[in-house]
Structure 1
Amino acid sequence: MKTITGRLVRLPGLLLRLGWVSAIVFFYGAAVGASAAGARLRGDGRGRGVRDGDRWVRMLTRLGPSYIKIGQLLSTRRDLLPEEVTTPLARLTDAASPPGRRRIVRAVRHAYRDRPWPFREFGWEPVACGSIATVHEAVTLDGQRVAVKVRRPGIERVMWQDFTLTASMMSALSMLPRLRKMPFKLMHAQVGGAILRQLDFEAEATSLTTLRANLVKFGNVRIPAPLPELCTAETVVMEYVDDLTRFAPGELDADTRSAVVRAVLAAIYEMLFVDGLVHCDLHPGNLYFDHDAGLVMLDAGFVIRLPDPVRRSFADFFINMAMGDGWMCGQIVIESAAEIAEDCDLDGFRTELGELVTDASGAKSGEFDLARFAGRLFDLQRRFGLFPAPEFAFPLLSLLVIEGMIKVFDSDVDFQAEAMPVLRRRNMSDKAA
């Protein structure tokens, strides 16, 4: 890893990247400020300013893949952000600008430089474009129709530069008096490292296989099968799934919407609480309906394996929150903490967390706001000097991404009640083990 990092992140390139990011942020920040100021001068309260979603799309696209990923995640939060922001951001999920055809051809040919060319036909025009890869339709030599995910040329260098820049930013934040106790470096290594692992296409092929095996019990959830013998470090080859419909309520009736929501939550909870394999990237570009109205999960690049202690602690916290047992939730956080300040008031922490859990217990989708709950929990931990293992960020991220879409489908679903059957089965499984 050090060799790779040293080769990809050199000081001149890093400074150029810093200058590029700073210039773009300054330019768009100035544009937003000018728009807001102009609206005030005209007495026009309708000035778009920060609500100009198209401007956000242009900025994030110019900043590159790490920032596009942020836009993809924000696009799912229609419950928190205005429609004029989330609708344009949704274009980032699978309609990013593709590289030039010549660059794609070179990238694919390079991926198969050491083996015979495995395709009878290859569609060089992408059928989907994400921040890290393009997806192409192809036909193998034996006639099988496949989807080929191709890593964008030069993407490694840019993402490693961004990782290095954000590491410096985390170090700077840790010097601020109020944030000095926060384990920013550890958090960055865990979360930033997980984002970088999206570049490992061999690991993604393995994750697809594992997810298929774990979710086979759900007859209404489909994950395309990879073809390991055709996958490389730069490509993932999988079965082609056609006739897909974007994951959106559309014209579905209320009963169907409710059934869809419960199917999604059952699969998510199975991954979180039983398998410990967390899909953190189930935005509308990776979640679809097939022609039988079943769920199709695509792309397993941002899939994280939770350490077993973290999986158990997260599940225990969730079930005790559903039961309204704030004291036990506090005890779980304390026992699983990565760091506890010497002057931490543990009883005070349990009391305040208990109040937070009481507010959240039994709330329905339309009433329960996970983003607000996570923010209050984070602030509570910061004030008391009690910091969780960084891996806890991943199940929270997974739920935050899916929560926004679920609220659009069915605002009455009870997140906590839907988790209880999975949690009870998980408890029996863990005890048997």
Structure 2
Amino acid sequence: MKQETGRLKEILHVLNQHNVTHGINPEKLCSILEDLGPTYVKLGQIMSMRSDILPEKYCHELARLRTDVKPMSFNEIWKILNKELHNDPGQLFQKINQIPVGCASIAQVHEAVLGDGSKVVLKIQRPQIKQIMAEDIALLKKASGFLNFATGTGELIDFRKVIDELWETSKEEMDFEKEAQHLERFYENQKDVAYVTCPKVYKEYSNEHLLVMSYVDGIQIDHIEELDRNGYDRKEIAQKTAQNYCKQILADGFFHADPHPGNLWISGGQIVWLDLGMAGDLSEHYRAIMKRAITAILKNDIYELKNAFLSFGKPTEKIDHASLYTDLDDMVGKYMNMDFGTMDLGELMEDAIGLLKKHKIAIEPDITLLARSMVTMEGTLKLCSPEVNMIQILTSYMSANMFHEIDIKKEIRHALRDIYGSSKKSLEIPAQVSDLLNITKNGQVRVNIESAQIEKAGRELKKGFDHLLLVLIVMALWFSSAILCLSDVTPRVLGMPYLSVAGFISGFLIVLYVLIHMLIQRKK
């Protein structure tokens, strides 16, 4: 409890330093997260991939936190290496570069040379990072209910779930043995692709907190002048990178979740994927849904697209299917009128996520991770070769691989089953028609219609009847009160019987209630 109180004071001090009471913007938010420490930097990284929660300008600025974090001192690095290697680093390495080549929330990277002369990179975990993050996560969980209330997201965005996602992702990234497994899995998936590779892991020097990998001497994918000087075809690089990324998503089901330019290098004619700390698993179920969604867009099949769309998340309210059809039709119409080369994947993703928000469909974390990863990939491709289009590559990849995925025997079995089912049902039609005619003749036909719009219309109609009933009651009160005024009934006030006054006042109060109720409903 004392630790939590102390940490809370630190957080409040940082917030006060940045004058959060005077407002916040993307740049200020990044600075605050950096000053709060690695947990909040990591939260920023996760949130940069959640454009369903934050505006795009915030996501774009938070993406900077992935590679641009304050470094640890080299003295601290040396102490960590001495502890993790159980040996003097000077005995194992000929040289360790004191200037880091990269700094992130969990670790930083230094170049080094092994005793045998092999060039390597050392990924060194920040000390006590797990304990620090665990304390911060506990505080964030306590604040999660307030975050839902303050942002007005209700059940649509479950901040506790986002924090759990952050913690699970962070724990996985803090386990460098897990990242080593990711590298080996990625290499195994891509071993038959001649133009793709990833770093080799030196297991004898690596453990949970230290990862030693082969050094990649190459050119970052967005260093276009250097690529041009070395005679590389940037368009070919971008196309092959996109094709391989499509393979990762649709064929392997295991993809690089953070494909920013710093993680893609060109070395010896190969595309090298770096930093597999953040990787995504896409189940066969979601891969099938993705293929269905893309095929539906290409065929302008709104019905199939709606089914695929609903499969990506979980509705938190009853779906207005008619409205959803209309919105999807508008979205598809917008992109169907475009040439593939002019389509923007980022804009398409924003439109899709906007529809999910509008129709109160909570999004699965796997899908938001993939969506943000795809947008990052498209941005990286544009930096390398602007004419290469991610959507075009994705659809081309699907078309090229669709035939190979067809199981002829399975398709024939399905077709025969459908024919048998249809034939059986067709034989039942005459009997069903006869039954229907008999029911109709006896006046027993009943039609059940379920529609969100009909229900809405029914509710509006009920309100109208309620108001009409109240008006009739007011008319009856006022009419009877007026008749009483013509009588000799006593006692009287202002020349009218008490009962007449009570009737006029009651009618006035009912009218006032109806008017106030209508104004409130109109504001809603």
For the pair 1:133 / 2:107, whether they are aligned, the reply is yes
What TM-score results when the alignment is normalised by the length of structure 2? 0.65
Change (3 A) 1:328 1:244: same
For the pair 1:287 / 2:230, whether they are aligned, the reply is no
Partner of 2:129: 155
Shift of 1:302: 0.5
Change (3 A) 1:134 1:216: same
Greater RCO between the two (CA within 8 Å, min separation 6)? Answer: 1
Shift of 1:201: 0.6
Partner of 1:41: none
Shift of 1:67: 4.6
Change (3 A) 1:295 1:341: same
For the pair 1:307 / 2:283, whether they are aligned, the reply is yes
Partner of 1:249: 224
Native 8 Å contact 1:244 1:288 kept in 2: yes
SS in 1 for 2:110: strand
Partner of 2:272: 296
**Counterparts of 1:320 and 1:255, CA distance in 2:** 37
Change (3 A) 1:111 1:255: closer
Listed one character per residue, the Cα deviations across residues 115-153 of structure 1 (whole Å, up to 9, x for unaligned) are: 999824351624423212122333445543322211111
Shift of 1:301: 0.5
Give identity over the alignment, percent. 20
Partner of 2:310: 334
The aligned amino acid for 1:287 is L
Listed one character per residue, the Cα deviations across residues 31-52 of structure 1 (whole Å, up to 9, x for unaligned) are: 986xxxxxxxxxxxxxxx958x
Residues 360-379 of structure 1 aligned to structure 2 (within 5 Å): 360-361=335-336, 363=338, 367-379=342-354
Change (3 A) 1:15 1:362: farther
The CA RMSD over aligned residues, in Å, is 3.9
For the pair 1:231 / 2:206, whether they are aligned, the reply is yes
For the pair 1:145 / 2:119, whether they are aligned, the reply is yes
What TM-score results when the alignment is normalised by the length of structure 1? 0.76
**Counterparts of 2:93 and 2:265, CA distance in 1:** 28
Partner of 2:75: 102
Residues 48-63 of structure 1 aligned to structure 2 (within 5 Å): 58-63=31-36
Native 8 Å contact 1:148 1:235 kept in 2: yes
Native 8 Å contact 1:364 1:411 kept in 2: no
SS in 2 for 1:228: coil
Change (3 A) 1:64 1:197: same
Out of 110-119 and 292-301, give the one that drifted further.
Answer: 110-119
Partner of 2:391: 416
Listed one character per residue, the Cα deviations across residues 160-184 of structure 1 (whole Å, up to 9, x for unaligned) are: 3443444444433444695323251
Q: 1:27 is matched with which residue: 5, 17, 38?
A: 17
Native 8 Å contact 2:157 2:362 kept in 1: yes
**Counterparts of 1:355 and 1:294, CA distance in 2:** 41
How many residues end up aligned between the 2 structures? 397
Shift of 1:99: 1.4
Residues 163-242 of structure 1 aligned to structure 2 (within 5 Å): 163-175=137-149, 179-182=153-156, 184=158, 185-242=160-217
Native 8 Å contact 2:85 2:205 kept in 1: no
**Counterparts of 2:8 and 2:87, CA distance in 1:** 36
Partner of 2:96: 123
Partner of 2:415: none
Native 8 Å contact 2:101 2:110 kept in 1: yes
Change (3 A) 1:119 1:159: same
**Counterparts of 1:61 and 1:130, CA distance in 2:** 12
Change (3 A) 1:96 1:383: closer
For the pair 1:275 / 2:248, whether they are aligned, the reply is no
Partner of 2:431: none
Native 8 Å contact 1:136 1:148 kept in 2: yes
Change (3 A) 1:249 1:171: farther
**Counterparts of 1:233 and 1:407, CA distance in 2:** 36
**Counterparts of 1:299 and 1:134, CA distance in 2:** 11
The aligned amino acid for 1:27 is Q
The aligned amino acid for 1:190 is E
For the pair 1:259 / 2:246, whether they are aligned, the reply is no
Out of 354-363 and 393-402, give the one that drifted further.
Answer: 354-363
For the pair 1:393 / 2:393, whether they are aligned, the reply is no
Residues 20-99 of structure 1 aligned to structure 2 (within 5 Å): 20-29=10-19, 58-68=31-41, 70=44, 94=67, 96-99=69-72
The aligned amino acid for 2:326 is T
Change (3 A) 1:359 1:30: same
The aligned amino acid for 1:303 is A
**Counterparts of 1:255 and 1:115, CA distance in 2:** 42
By percentage of residues, which structure has more helix?
Answer: 2
Native 8 Å contact 2:82 2:88 kept in 1: no
